[in-house]
Structure 1
Amino acid sequence: MASKTSILSKRALQLTSRRPTTQICYRESLRRAGMATVAPPVTQDSTSKRGPTAMVFMNMGGPATTDEVGDFLSRLFSDGDLIPLGRLQNYLGPLIARRRTPKIQKQYADIGGGSPIRKWSEYQCEEMCKILDQISPETAPHKPYVAFRYANPLTEHMYEQMFKDGFGQGKGGRAVAFTQYPQYSCSTTGSSLNELWKWRNRLEGKRASGEMHPPGSITWSVIDRWQTHPGLVEAFAQNIEAQLKTYPEERRNNAVILFSAHSLPMSVVNRGDPYPAEVAATVNAVMARLGFSNPYRLCWQSQVGPSAWLGAQTSDTVREYVARGQTDLVLVPIAFTSDHIETLYEIDQEVMHEDAQNNPGVKRAESLNGSPVFIQALADIAKAHLDSGMSCSRQMGLRCQGCKSERCLESKRFFAGEQAYTSNFVM
């Protein structure tokens, strides 16, 4: 009998392969022109009772060309939710960005001249929406959008596109902010939601109309974490198993699996950020799915600046193990849902070539990217959320123990308060 996973994979492939030829040409021409895919105007589907629904993938983003690196870094280092620099954030952030721009431009040049994160984000969202149209017709049509925190398409650009497509501005409609960080952190998902809340208020909330929830504004709900979803776990496990099979059978079970996630400043960790625990939960779930077949460790990457960050660092871990003679290592980017500079440059070039000294036993599991199992998981998560009638998880409403941010408080209040309106979309 075929496994449940293989059936899901075939189903995802079947559903995601249905695309009219004209639509392919239209989207391809937009991609070649360097433009985001434009969603058609919103129309009520005759089979839909609660649609249309905007599905918004949130992520940090990445510069599409080396010319965009400076602006990308300036936004990144100016974000106090991600890199807290205190009262001088607005001065120090752009200054650090300018100093680092030439170095980071070279790194992007080395991986092809830009980040592939936009390509993968748009692809994953579009394919997920096709599946949702099939498995959740009552909320169809599902319109794909991408909102990046530091690169195009920025949150405000996404919001303006939604207006053009018929959402909000007196027309109402439902939108789901779907974080593409499986594990919640105030520095990542929290920052993206704070930005969404800011632009919502500027464009159709209190600052725009004088009302907190004016008639005909967009109703938002949030998928704020999904760190142990079975589909996510299965997608990671399959990629790890595929890489383990490349080792000789007598060495396979002794290869060390190194899960690598983006690190955080210890000031953020000590404030009570849930990210380290949620990453560890993903790691444990994946290893349980693998039957704890191999020794493993969780390590952290991408430390910036002289302040203390969560460790041990991935680069140090690989260097130490190789020096001890443990040269069969499988690196797994456990907090990333697609390739970008942290996988293609930091892991593939710096860690594997420099820290591992090009040792052939040091390998990396493929990123999730276009995995049908992963895209099916995204659709399953989205459908469960749409069916639940919840505006966000219970966890999201709870602030970190040491949180003093009024922006974070108001953002959480807003999205939790959307519950009163989200329930109108559940029958």
Structure 2
Amino acid sequence: MSQGAASLPARDPQPRTRYDAVLLVSFGGPEGQDDVLPFLRNVTRGRGIPDERLEEVAHHYRHFGGVSPINDQNRALRAALTAELDRRGLDLPVYWGNRNWDPYLSDALRAAHAAGHRRLLAVVTSAYSSYSSCRQYREDLAAALEETGLTAEVQVDKVRQYFDHPGFVGPFVSGTRDAIRTVLDEIGPDAGPGDVHVLFSTHSIPTVTAVASGPPTADLGPDGAYGAQHRAVAEVVMAALASGTDAIEVDWSLVFQSRSGSPHTPWLEPDVNDAIGELASRGVRGVVIVPLGFVSDHMEVVWDLDEEATATARDAGLAVSRVPTPGVDPTFVTGLVDLVEERHTTGEPDGPVDRPALTPLGPWYDVCRAGCCANPRGERPAVAGLA
């Protein structure tokens, strides 16, 4: 059951500000075999993980020639955002910086500053609330400002978490509907809705991190804001499929993937592969995998779902279809620019701010609450939050 808005502290929108530019912020990924280990060292810096352990993950990238799809996807997203901003007459150039690979956040900040921009609005390629999907980006932005010596000269704000924005959710609705039809067709003419199960998949995180996700005074259930947000969005998708003239109702569940770290540390479960095996044992004949936690088809999607989870389903004799991520779907791109317009003013008289949200949990905060999504390793400076 989704948690209601009453479980959250008051959410007052920020007044609109005149920004100079948009900063697209992402994770980054290697673009060749020689990049793989240095990239993984960046991702795991400070944890003392030896290269032989990193090689266990490196083979995912090496399977694709050492190239993560994420950078090309961000180039395409940057171009799409630029086109939509231009279409609306918004004079906001789009800079792009990554946490873990070139182009780095520090490079993007230097470029924006050199061009005369002093007030940036960040769009992060992560829709949900948790340490790794929100606060860590905010910390790395603060660290990049410090590294470049621009802390006193450049202000970086951030659009709200957009897990339940129509622009993010819409592509999953249409994609899930199409994938259910594909699986039913593969099963055959005797297939019915009871033969198909929808698995909404997202990145697993340590349970202690999940509990700490969201504002510290919020009561959002055993998995914190991270779990509550995903479940709420899954409910919206399934409710949309169950309405209208082409309504279809099938069972669904939330599953997790891409677990890493010590096997002794509890992480969110069930794993997508375990869930597929359990469904097969119950007589389910087909599964639809919805990468609900992801903005684009990066490595956790193309390897963990398209390779591993799909193979698990095929080995179990199940029909399977994976739903596309939003990527550069026009609905998603339009939604991201809508989020920019919620915060940006051109200096002309502004109309009322429309902040759409499809779940009772939204619209989420424009500015993160103090202590939100706490760093499990201790407090670090972060931008775009209350002190």
Q: TM-score range by the shorter chain?
A: 0.7 to 0.9
1:299, 1:312 within 8 Å by CA — same for their partners in 2? yes
* Aligned partner of residue 22 in structure 2, secondary structure: strand
Displacement after TM superposition at 1:384 (Å): 2.0
- Measure the CA separation in 1 of the matches of 2:374 and 2:68: 34
Aligned to 2:49: 95
> Hey, which of these two has a bigger chunk of helix by percent?
1
- Measure the CA separation in 1 of the matches of 2:330 and 2:382: 33
Q: RMSD between aligned alpha carbons?
A: 2.7
Aligned to 2:208: 267
Displacement after TM superposition at 1:183 (Å): 0.7
State which of 112, 124, 135 in structure 2 corresponds to 1:179.
Answer: 124
Residue ranges of structure 1 left out of the alignment (5+ in a row): 1-49, 79-89, 207-212, 418-427
1:129, 1:144 within 8 Å by CA — same for their partners in 2? yes
2:131, 2:374 within 8 Å by CA — same for their partners in 1? no
Aligned to 2:253: 297
| TM-aligned CA distance change 1:394 to 1:351, over 3 Å | same
2:256, 2:269 within 8 Å by CA — same for their partners in 1? yes
- Measure the CA separation in 1 of the matches of 2:72 and 2:298: 10
Which shows bigger deviation, 218-227 or 379-388?
Answer: 379-388
| TM-aligned CA distance change 1:314 to 1:415, over 3 Å | same
2:368, 2:385 within 8 Å by CA — same for their partners in 1? no
* Aligned partner of residue 178 in structure 2, secondary structure: helix
Displacement after TM superposition at 1:324 (Å): 2.8
Residue ranges of structure 2 left out of the alignment (5+ in a row): 1-16, 215-224, 243-247, 346-352, 356-363
Displacement after TM superposition at 1:395 (Å): 6.2
Aligned to 1:218: 154
State which of 189, 193, 206 in structure 2 corresponds to 1:253.
Answer: 193
| TM-aligned CA distance change 1:405 to 1:398, over 3 Å | farther
Displacement after TM superposition at 1:327 (Å): 2.7
State which of 135, 138, 142 in structure 2 corresponds to 1:197.
Answer: 142
* Aligned partner of residue 411 in structure 1, secondary structure: coil
| TM-aligned CA distance change 1:153 to 1:327, over 3 Å | farther
Alignment of 1:28-47 (within 5 A): none
* Aligned partner of residue 187 in structure 1, secondary structure: helix
Aligned to 2:82: 129
* Aligned partner of residue 269 in structure 1, secondary structure: helix
| TM-aligned CA distance change 1:256 to 1:113, over 3 Å | same
Displacement after TM superposition at 1:52 (Å): 6.7
Match status 1:378 vs 2:336: yes
Aligned to 2:359: none
Aligned to 1:398: 370
Count of aligned positions: 334
Aligned to 2:166: 230
State which of 154, 157, 163 in structure 1 corresponds to 2:104.
Answer: 154
| TM-aligned CA distance change 1:164 to 1:360, over 3 Å | farther
2:19, 2:344 within 8 Å by CA — same for their partners in 1? no
Which shows bigger deviation, 360-369 or 350-359?
Answer: 350-359
Deviations 1:259-314 (A, max 9, x none): 00001112212334522222222212222222272211000111113121011111
* TM-score relative to the length of structure 2: 0.78
Q: Which amino acid aligns with 2:286?
A: D
Q: Which amino acid aligns with 2:61?
A: Y
State which of 65, 75, 79 in structure 1 corresponds to 2:42.
Answer: 75
| TM-aligned CA distance change 1:343 to 1:402, over 3 Å | closer
Q: Which amino acid aligns with 2:302?
A: L
Displacement after TM superposition at 1:361 (Å): 0.6
Q: Which amino acid aligns with 1:303?
A: R
Deviations 1:377-407 (A, max 9, x none): 22222222325699x9256123248767664
Displacement after TM superposition at 1:252 (Å): 5.4
2:73, 2:296 within 8 Å by CA — same for their partners in 1? yes
Q: Which amino acid aligns with 1:154?
A: Y
- Measure the CA separation in 2 of the matches of 1:258 and 1:302: 15
1:233, 1:289 within 8 Å by CA — same for their partners in 2? no
| TM-aligned CA distance change 1:77 to 1:241, over 3 Å | same
Deviations 1:320-356 (A, max 9, x none): 2123321310001001111111111111111111454
Which shows bigger deviation, 269-278 or 369-378?
Answer: 269-278
**Percent identity of equivalent pairs:** 22
- Measure the CA separation in 1 of the matches of 2:23 and 2:285: 41
Deviations 1:109-158 (A, max 9, x none): 323531111111121122122212222x3xx3221222222222221122
- Measure the CA separation in 2 of the matches of 1:319 and 1:265: 23
State which of 269, 272, 279 in structure 1 corresponds to 2:230.
Answer: 279
* More relative contact order, 1 or 2 (CA 8 Å, 6+ apart): 2
Displacement after TM superposition at 1:94 (Å): 4.0
